[in-house]
Amino acid sequence: MDSIRENRTKEDILEEIRLERSEDIRNEKCFVIVEGSDDVLFAKKIFCENVICMESFAGKTGLQEILEEDEQESDDIIGIRDRDYVNERDLSQRIFLYDHCCLELMLLADRCISTSFHQIYYKGKSTCELFLINAMRQLSAYSILRKKNETEELGINFRNVRFGDLVDFASERLNDEELFLRAKEQERYVRCKQEADAVDDQALWNITNGHDICTFLGRLSKSGKANMNEDRVRNVLLVSYRKEDFVKTQLYQDVLSYQRQKHLRFLEE
């Protein structure tokens, strides 16, 4: 996170929106608020040239605050965030969710994107049909812990927990018990593991965290001769993704329906 982002406030972003509007003689500009810098890169690829894409000052919490603070609840400002484990009924109608759990899972759910990644970067032994499911299955107990943290408000800080070294390349397995120990949540391991074992493959798409899937895949992948980290995996997915891919998503349909209803222009039709 850079210093400019760290010093930005809600008032700074709202003032920037006011300035953009004051210069919008034709009243054509629309605004998309997203969680982070990677979301900005994605949004700039997908949305029309009249759309100003802006990073929230504090992730999904800041995104929510910006829309709530918008005095006129303007239709031309929307937010897009990770689905994570949120109750959709608690969200404003101007907040839209990525397909599946997060941006990264929405990108990987596209068959062309995941196949290309498997063919070019992935160096493990799993087939194209199984490498993502295996990755999500290995992460599933930790994904359950993340879900509990949000739904039960446990207050666990995952930010500094690293686990790349816990992924064994040969077996493509994660030492998730050690991972729980690093997160200082070892007492929750058995219960989370049991709950994870009951989750079917399709449901894994709705609980797997984007940082985690990119970290796991990075340990099994290479770019040229170099190992890949979380950021490199995500960048590859973002660069590969096209507008033609996006039109196949539920998010596209949701924003398209909204813009038609409000007579605005966020997306090309």
Q: What is the pLDDT of residues 42-92, one digit of tens each?
A: 999 999 999 999 999 999 999 999 998 876 578 999 999 999 999 888 898
Listing DSSP states for 4-65 in one string gives HHHH--HHHHHHHHHHHHHT-TTS--EEEEESSHHHHHHHHHHS-TTEEEEE-SSHHHHHHH
> For the chain, what are the domain ranges?
3-99+249-262, 104-242
pTM attached to this predicted model: 0.94
Is 260 exposed, middle or buried (CB count within 10 Å of its CB: 0-12, 13-18, 19+)? exposed
Among 35-44, 65-74, 182-191, the least confident range: 65-74
Tally of CB atoms within 10 A around 184: 11
- Asked if residue 258 has pLDDT above 80, the reply is yes
Number of CB atoms found within 10 A of residue 77's CB: 20
d(CA 237, CA 254): 22
Q: How far apart are CA 194 and CA 177, in angstroms?
A: 13
What single letter denotes the amino acid at residue 163?
F
Q: Class assignment of domain 3-99+249-262?
A: alpha beta
Give the Cβ contact number of residue 265 at 10 Å.
Answer: 17
